[in-house]
Every structure is written in C-alpha cells, then in structure tokens.
Structure 1
Amino acid sequence: MTLPDPSAWPVDDPVADQSVDVLAQRAAATPDATAVVDADDGSVWSYAELDDRVAARAAAIESVAQSDLAGGRVALLLGTRPAVADLFFAVGRLGASAVALNVELPTERLRSQAARAEVDLLVCERATEEAATAVAPGDTPVASVDDPGSDAVASLALGENGSAGRVEPSGRPLDDERVVMFTSGTSGEPKGVRLTRRNLVASAVGSAHRLGVQPGDRWLVCLPTYHMGGLAPIVRSTLYGTTTVVQREFDAAATARVLDEFDATAVSLVPTMLTRLLDAGWGPGESLRFVLLGGAPASRELIERCADRGVPACPTYGLTETASQVATATPTEASEHPDTVGRPLRPTTVTVVGDDGTPVEAGESGELVVSGPTVAPGYLDDEQTAAAFDDLGFHTGDLGYADRDGRLWVVGRVDDAVVTGGENVHPARVADALRDVEGVADAAVVGLPDEEWGERVAALVVPADGSRDGGTAGLTADGVREAVRDRLAAFAVPKTVGFADDLPRTHSGTVDREAVRERLESARDRG
C-alpha cells in the first residue's frame, strides 16, 4: 500500500494555509504514528509526543531569550541526536530561523559564522558548551539541551520548563527564511545559505515524486544534521507522516546493525560510508527500499558493487542551495547509464549553459543552472547572492551535460578546470579514466602551478587493497600514467601522481581539494 500519488500534489498544498505549523498539522492528523526513534538507546516518540517536546523546548527558548524571536535567528551547535528535531521545529514555531553550525569546525570559524548570521541565541549540548560560550557574539545568550556545566549557560532541558505553557505557531509566510546552513567550503570561506519553508517543502515533495513514500517508511539519519543530507529526512518524514531513525554517529558495524534492527526502508549516505558498509560485509535487508547516495560522485565500481550485492543505490546530485536533491537516478538508471545522477526532480529545472550564458545542445558540457521552488533566495552576503543568482536561476559552478532524455552527468567544477599549456582539462574526466585502471580504487585530480605549462595535471590515487607495496610493487606513478595514455589526450595525462590510503574529504563527503593539493605538493618532485 502506498500513500496518495505525490504527483497530484501542488508544491504548496501540504502547507497551503501559511499559518499551519507542519509538525502541529502532522500531530493533529496522526498523533500515534511514530515520529522519531533514537537508534542509540531505543527511545521512541510519537508525533503527539514530539509535538509536546517541541512545545516545551519553544517555551524554554522563549524564556531564555527574553525577547520576541520572530524573524530572528537561533544557532544550533549540536551533534546528530533526536534533540535536533525538537529544536528545529521549536525554533520554527517561534517564527525564527535555525542556523546550523558544524561542531567539527575550529573556534574561529564558528565565531565568524555566528557573527555573520547575527544570531540572537546559541543552543548547545554538554559536549559543545565550552565552544558555544567562546563563539557566541557579544552578549548573545547561550543555552544547553543538557544540564549545563556553567552558570553562564541556561538550561533548555525537558522537564524544567514544561510549565511555561504552549507556544502558538507563528504563521510566518512560506517564503520567509527557515534555516541558514553553511556550505562545505572546499575552495574558500563557506557561504551561509538562506533556505525558506517553501524550499524545504518543495524538496520533500520532489523527493517523494522520485523515491515514493510508503506508510511504514523508516528513514535512517546517520549523516550530520548540520548538513542538508542529515536535516532533510527529518523535515520530509514529518511532512509524510513517516518515521526518522536517528543514529548519533556513523560506524560501519553499528550502522549495519541499526539498518536491520529497525527495519530501515531508507538511508542517506555518502559514497565513503556505503563503501565501508560493503567492505564490512553488509547486505540490504528486505525492508530497504533505497540508499540515497550523495555528497560526492559515486564511482562506477561502487555502483557495480551495489548491483552485485542487491543494494538499491540511488546516486543523487544536490546542493545546500537547493535544499538537497536536484536530480536522482533510480538503481536501474544508475546501472544502465554509468555515472549519471538521473533526471531532475519535479518541478526542478536544470539548464546547461555555455561560456556565453546561453543554453547548449544535449550532450554538450556547460555550467549547470538550477531553477524552481527548491532554490534558495540567496546567501547571507548580498554580493555572493548577486554573483550566483539571476533570472535564469542558481549558477551552481558545476560542469555537466544532459542527454536527450534529460539525464544529467556532472563532470567537475567550472573553477576546477586545469589550464595546462593553453588546453582545458576537466579533472572529473581524468579521475574517471584513472578509476578504470586496474588496481585503482579512487582518484582525485587537481591543478598545480607549473613554470613551463602554467598548471600541471596532478592526481592523488588510492590503490586497491594489495595493489601497492611501499611504492615498489603494483601501482607506480609511471605505470598509472602509461595506463591512461590511450584514454586521455596527452596534455591531460597527470604529470604528478601521488598515492594515499584514502582521499581527504569534508564531513559531507566532498573531496577536500585544497587538502589534495597539499598532499600532492610533496609528490611534485617525484612526479
């Protein structure tokens, strides 16, 4: 049995009455349905219970802030845990915007982001309390969802503020800001993306079109909730009336157990996570309907392993600026059309434009420009907004192409192109050729300064197990170059080749290109 066909929904329909709080609406409709499961201790909350928790959190936040937060911002400095759901919906109930801060960032970076977002309150947990008090701007109050360890930190712990009364939903318009989320920042200062409730709802509806929704769905969240991949399932499940299972941290063995124990039907992972699950011997249970695979390109080898193991992997292309998914491939598409990320989700539009800003023909590469209701209104910084958003849509900076059936391929970044001896080289295409070399598990390609050529193509290669022994057996730099000479133009063959046990990545799974460059600098003289 499935829910009513999502294709019949207008994008605004689930929240057509702008005064309706999505969680309050869900709790009224299906109060006894399971909302959240804590995979670490087995705790379970129905939608009625989650609504009560949110009411208590909202009242406590309002008491601590001692001001009207409508139109304001509340920063959340927490790891992945069920309390994130409480706080996200409580902040929205107060008419404020949640600012998601990455707990892994250094103090100075967090202080900069909190200041740029001009937050009115900073919420932490016991593990981040010290950092929170250090990064809160000026006299901004700090409160913890746990018992505070300092008198300077107020308490939002449930049970202490329940008598403060229920907070009525603010009824802010759909197009008001709902969350600020910072990009990964692999090539510069992360941008603060301003997403609206309309963006989040449109993303949920578009995802339902592609992946389907069943009443018994249980979506496992083990990605950080300060990234869209971790937060989006919480919002979507609430809209659908299905269940979110929250695991505080990914671990291959523990996550494999959680997937089976809680009969997960869906999970969001980055390719590195899925690779580790497969390496640990995991296979999908009967309940699993899909693995939403994003954050970084999924290699052809990984998709083939999934097909062999019966894992329903759905490679996806998405961005923070589009509230998660832009395009998603079905498992069949992924197998039959290698490296595709599938067709754009309804009603998202992707236009491929050339250097002159005009659309190109099918099969031609260009920058991907995304438009539709999932696209954010912009960044915290007006200049950054003006540079990336225009009447055509959001200019992603990603290079790609589409076939005549509308399937997308992403081949790299506009600013990642390596110009060597006057020739343009797309790193993603070189990396694809390297991954096809026997004994190569993965690769990343960047440009390094070169006095003769302007830039040189450089590759960091991850050997497959047993293919390299201290650099003297199996894979060598010369051997790798020779293996790709018949697959690449001479100018695209890497002049520098380095080896590593794995590729440096951000927490969202994206290759950290600056870290790759640093590693390759040491291999330059040997290249």
Structure 2
Amino acid sequence: MTASLLADIAQRPGDTVLLTHADGHTTSLEGMFAAAANMARRLGELGVGPGDRLLVQAENSDQLLTFYVACALARIAACPLDPALPPARVAGLRTTIAPKMLIDAATLTTLAAPAADPMAALPGPDDAAEWMIIFSSGTTGEPKGIVHTQGSLMASAKSFAALSELGPESVIYHHFPMFYMAGIFNMFLCPLVAGARIVLGQKFSQMQMLSFWEEPRRHGVNHLTLTPTMALSLCQLYRRDDKLLDHLAQYQTIISTSSTLHPSVAERFHQTFAVPLRTCYGVTEIGGSITVQSWAEGLAFESCGAFSPETSIRAGSDANHPGEILVKTPFMMKGYLTRSGLSQPFDADGYFSTGDLGYVEDGRLFVTGRENDLVKKGGEFISLGLIENLALSLSQVAEVSVVAVPDDYWGNKIVLFYVPAAGVGMDEMENAAKDLFGANLRKIEIPDKLIAVPWFPKTSIGKTIKRDLVSRYTL
C-alpha cells in the first residue's frame, strides 16, 4: 500500500459514531483518534518510542482498543496476553518479548488522562511497523508469538470486511476477549475499516449467557461473531422467544470463527434460531479470516466459502483427494517471535502450512480435517472429527471432545469426553451412544472409552484444552 489505511481512516468525518457503550453513550471516530494520540504522546513522555514492545494484560475496555490505535500512531508493538495467564507463564513470555514496560488497567487509566503536550510530534502510522504480537491459544502446546505489521493487519481487515459485506450500516457486537485475534481483528479492525459501529458488550461467559441477547437487541446489533462452543451453548439455553427470532431475522450475518464448526452444530443453530451460522476460515498467521460462507452456503453446511482474489490457496483436487492446505496472502505475518529473533515458517514459494486438510472447488475452500485429526489405530486411519461431529448430534450431551491416547497394542485408543446434558445419567448416554455409533461407525472407529466430566477446561474464548482433559482424566 502506498499510504497507510489507518491514516486514511483518521481523515473520515470525525462525528461518525464508532463505539456504543452498554449505557448508551457513544464515542466518535474523532474522539477515539484524539484519545489515542494523547496516549501515544504519554508513552513518549515515559520513554517509549518506535520499535519498542509493550506487554499488555488488561480486561476489555474502550481504553484498551484506544491503546491499540495509540501504538500504531507511535509505531510501537503491542503484545496482548490473557490477564488470567499464570505469572509463571507470563514470566517465560516476557523473556521472549523483552517488553519496554507492562501495560495493565491502572496504566491504561494513567495514559488516558488528557495531560500530554498536544504539540508533541508523533511518528504516525507506518505500514511496515510491527504493531501486534498475538500469541496463539496454546491448546495443544506452547503459544507462539505471531508478529503482524500495521500494513498486514489493516490490509487483511479491509479484505475480510469486503468478504463479509460489512459497511456503514453494520452494527457489530463485541463480546470476545480483546487480547485474542478475533477480538482485535474481527470485532475491531474490520468494522473500523468498514465504517461500521461497534457495540461494546460484556465478555462472553457462563454467568451472562442467559442474558446474552439483551444488549444486541437494545442496540440494534445486526452482525455477530460466535465460536462453535458459544453457538451450541446459546442453543441449549434457548426458550421460545418470538421477539428474539424477529430480531435475529434482521441480521446481516452471524459468523462462526476460531475452531471447526461441525455440521451438526450449524444445523442445530439454524433449527433453533431460524438463521444460518456462517463459518469462515483463517488462522492468525495468514492475517486472520480469509473466507466466509454466503447465506445459502451457510444452510448447506459444506464449504468454508469464497476467498478474495489476492489470496492463493494450494490444497487437494477434490473431495476424494484432499490435501494439505497451504495459503499465501499479501497480509501474512512477519514471522514467529523467538528469543533469537524472527522465525519465518514459509516454504520456498512463500506459502504457509496451516495444518489443515481440504480442497478448492469453484473458488471455494472445503476443509475436511486437520493433519493431527487423523490418527492410526490398529494400522487404520481414524478421523476424530468425524466421531466428534456424530457425537454432538446426541441430545444427551452438552459438550463433546474426542481425543486419541497412546496404546501399546492398538497404537492409539479413542477416548470420548462428554459433559452430560441436564438430567442425563451415564447409562442413558452410553446406551444412546452405543446405538448411534453402531449404526454410523465402523467397529474400529467406535470410541474405546466414554468419560463423563463435569466441565471442560477451556481457553478464554471457549476452545477446549484437550491436553488438560487427557492429563486430568486418563492417567
């Protein structure tokens, strides 16, 4: 890009409403950028300047979003971490990040005070400057620091905003953690690029699921992003509400992100709320979400939708011949942050290996599984995703997770963890599973063990931490 997209956005009409808060008061685009400029100048007074990194641990707030813009204006890299991350884990990451300082809620409040010299010059946005170092969730291993520049994130946001048809009439509900990619990219940068309005809601949690729809209805939300786990939880809690169904009928789109959307969950969501849950595909390393289903595709429960012309994907040839999904975009990450510098895991042609399997047909991406989703048992390949999707169709379960554990004889055994639905006993669940699996799976695919658990260990956005399930319940 020849000019910074962020700088262009700052020149839009200043009275445009960017944020709507829970109590109804609003923040304009001009107000956001003015507050960000003040924060950037305050950082300069503290000796923080271009190229520095800041470790950020703060709960959701409008100040945190403003701070991210301030980092862009000052050409500083923000490294947001989960505020609930154990201190020992943070200490290890600090060694890798080497931050200039720690930004917490108290620091944000101090930076927000309008006391900086308004005449102090700012470096201003720069597409080449490192902006975000976003750590992966680490559900299967240690988190990785994914480095993005201002240019890569803003170009990706512009591309996905167009794919998902965001515009000035769009009203997005923000309820994801703001240290997480979707909370930064899907719910802040994409609407910022599109000129949409953002409603700042409560962070999604078990405590507020019963009242989840109140703020979206009150503020006229028409664009929503959910994880599959969130979507399933909302389905389970739903009780007939015609006014809610009327509200949902006005939505431009409801998108599923962050993990695999099993067809059984998509179908249940549609049956419950009479609107499709449209999946997208992407990973943080390639710039975030790069595909999205159309309304009709969301009802077919098949592809992950179309991708933009600037994106190149290499995969299998058809459904019978899936292959590893390799992606190349103009908005790839700069690399992984390591203690010795940046590591760039791209092949000779600049493609990134996603670890997923699938194929491309008619400009649409079909994902058939992950490389580690296929495990060998008794010399045969077993799809854990196939079993998990089937188990989720059982009304006797609230949640399901299927894993493989090493076995001396079989190579791997298949273990199905489940949280029982309310009022369901183990015998009822096991009998229902026996009938379902017997009719739909080969004998070798049937789980070797069913384990009922009271809850699943999860990341802050609802991804099940499978390694914790295994360590807690299979020793």
Q: Is 1:228–1:323's contact at 8 Å kept on the other side of the alignment?
A: no
Give me the whole-angstrom Cα distance separating, in 2, the residues matched to 1:384 and 1:397.
20
Within the candidate set 353, 366, 370, 1:395 is matched to 353
Report SS of the residue matched to 2:143.
Answer: coil
Q: Equivalent residue for 1:89?
A: 69
Give me the whole-angstrom Cα distance separating, in 2, the residues matched to 1:349 and 1:287.
34
What displacement does 1:475 show? 1.3
Give me the whole-angstrom Cα distance separating, in 2, the residues matched to 1:231 and 1:192.
15
Within the candidate set 98, 113, 116, 1:158 is matched to 113
Q: Output one character per residue of 1:216-249: Cα deviation in whole Å (capped at 9) or x when no partner.
A: 2221111001111101121222222222222242
> What code does the residue aligned with 1:307 have?
H
Within the candidate set 449, 452, 475, 2:429 is matched to 475
Q: Equivalent residue for 1:500?
A: 453
Q: Output one character per residue of 1:280-330: Cα deviation in whole Å (capped at 9) or x when no partner.
A: 445444542112211122233332233232334221222121232132212
Give me the whole-angstrom Cα distance separating, in 1, the residues matched to 2:254 and 2:165.
13
Give me the whole-angstrom Cα distance separating, in 2, the residues matched to 1:406 and 1:512.
33
Within the candidate set 362, 380, 396, 1:405 is matched to 362
**Do structure 1's residue 208 and structure 2's residue 190 form an aligned pair?**
no
Q: Is 1:497–1:520's contact at 8 Å kept on the other side of the alignment?
A: no
Q: Output one character per residue of 1:233-273: Cα deviation in whole Å (capped at 9) or x when no partner.
A: 21222222222222242222443111011111212221222
Q: Is 2:167–2:195's contact at 8 Å kept on the other side of the alignment?
A: no
Q: How does 1:125-140 map to 2 (within 5 A)?
A: 125-126=105-106
Q: Relative to structure 1, is the Cα distance of residues 118 and 291 closer, same or farther in structure 2, using a 3 angstrom cutoff?
A: same
Q: Is 2:5–2:154's contact at 8 Å kept on the other side of the alignment?
A: no
Q: Is 2:231–2:269's contact at 8 Å kept on the other side of the alignment?
A: no
Give me the whole-angstrom Cα distance separating, in 2, the residues matched to 1:346 and 1:206.
9
**Do structure 1's residue 417 and structure 2's residue 380 form an aligned pair?**
no
Within the candidate set 417, 427, 439, 1:460 is matched to 417
Give me the whole-angstrom Cα distance separating, in 1, the residues matched to 2:342 and 2:472.
30
Q: Is 2:336–2:344's contact at 8 Å kept on the other side of the alignment?
A: no
Q: Equivalent residue for 1:241?
A: 195
Runs of at least 4 residues of structure 1 off by over 6 A?
A: none
Q: Output one character per residue of 1:94-124: Cα deviation in whole Å (capped at 9) or x when no partner.
A: 1111111111211111122222112112211
> What code does the residue aligned with 2:112 have?
A
Percentage of matched positions with identical amino acids: 22
Q: Is 2:227–2:259's contact at 8 Å kept on the other side of the alignment?
A: yes
What displacement does 1:93 show? 0.5
**Do structure 1's residue 76 and structure 2's residue 31 form an aligned pair?**
no
Give me the whole-angstrom Cα distance separating, in 1, the residues matched to 2:305 and 2:439.
29
Within the candidate set 249, 262, 287, 1:299 is matched to 262
Report SS of the residue matched to 2:266.
Answer: helix
Q: Is 1:56–1:166's contact at 8 Å kept on the other side of the alignment?
A: no
Within the candidate set 234, 237, 260, 1:277 is matched to 234
**Do structure 1's residue 260 and structure 2's residue 217 form an aligned pair?**
yes
Give me the whole-angstrom Cα distance separating, in 2, the residues matched to 1:384 and 1:62.
26
> What code does the residue aligned with 2:80 have?
A
Q: Is 1:194–1:377's contact at 8 Å kept on the other side of the alignment?
A: yes
Within the candidate set 30, 36, 39, 1:48 is matched to 30
What displacement does 1:498 show? 1.2
Q: TM-score, normalised by structure 2?
A: 0.89
Give me the whole-angstrom Cα distance separating, in 2, the residues matched to 1:462 and 1:297.
19
What displacement does 1:412 show? 3.5
Report SS of the residue matched to 2:212.
Answer: helix
Q: Equivalent residue for 1:135?
A: none
Deviates more, 1:94-103 or 1:251-260: 251-260
Corresponding residue pairs, total: 463
Give me the whole-angstrom Cα distance separating, in 2, the residues matched to 1:239 and 1:84.
18
Q: Report the RMSD for the aligned CA atoms in angstroms.
A: 2.5
Q: Is 2:72–2:125's contact at 8 Å kept on the other side of the alignment?
A: no
> What code does the residue aligned with 1:112 have?
G
Q: Relative to structure 1, is the Cα distance of residues 113 and 165 closer, same or farther in structure 2, using a 3 angstrom cutoff?
A: farther
Q: Relative to structure 1, is the Cα distance of residues 212 and 407 closer, same or farther in structure 2, using a 3 angstrom cutoff?
A: same
Give me the whole-angstrom Cα distance separating, in 2, the residues matched to 1:268 and 1:207.
13
Q: Output one character per residue of 1:429-487: Cα deviation in whole Å (capped at 9) or x when no partner.
A: 22123234563454221111212112111111344444x22x23x111x6524531342
Q: Equivalent residue for 2:297?
A: 333
Q: Is 1:21–1:93's contact at 8 Å kept on the other side of the alignment?
A: no
> What code does the residue aligned with 2:275 have?
V
Q: Relative to structure 1, is the Cα distance of residues 216 and 167 closer, same or farther in structure 2, using a 3 angstrom cutoff?
A: farther
Q: Is 1:252–1:280's contact at 8 Å kept on the other side of the alignment?
A: no
What displacement does 1:43 show? 3.0
Report SS of the residue matched to 2:152.
Answer: helix
What displacement does 1:199 show? 2.0
Q: Is 1:411–1:429's contact at 8 Å kept on the other side of the alignment?
A: no
Q: Equivalent residue for 1:117?
A: 97
Give me the whole-angstrom Cα distance separating, in 1, the residues matched to 2:210 and 2:399.
23
Q: Where does structure 2 lack aligned partners over 5 or more consecutive residues?
A: none
Q: Equivalent residue for 1:323?
A: 287
Q: Equivalent residue for 2:312?
A: 349
Q: TM-score, normalised by structure 1?
A: 0.81
Q: Output one character per residue of 1:409-441: Cα deviation in whole Å (capped at 9) or x when no partner.
A: 434432343222222222112212323456345
Give me the whole-angstrom Cα distance separating, in 2, the residues matched to 1:439 and 1:253.
21
> What code does the residue aligned with 1:49 have?
G
Q: Equivalent residue for 1:434?
A: 391
**Do structure 1's residue 224 and structure 2's residue 156 form an aligned pair?**
no
Report SS of the residue matched to 2:34.
Answer: helix
Q: Relative to structure 1, is the Cα distance of residues 271 and 236 closer, same or farther in structure 2, using a 3 angstrom cutoff?
A: same
Q: Output one character per residue of 1:7-52: Cα deviation in whole Å (capped at 9) or x when no partner.
A: xxxxx4xxx32xx471x5324221110012222x333111111111
Q: Where does structure 1 lack aligned partners over 5 or more consecutive residues?
A: 1-11, 127-143, 147-154, 353-358, 523-527
**Do structure 1's residue 37 and structure 2's residue 37 form an aligned pair?**
no
**Do structure 1's residue 487 and structure 2's residue 445 form an aligned pair?**
no
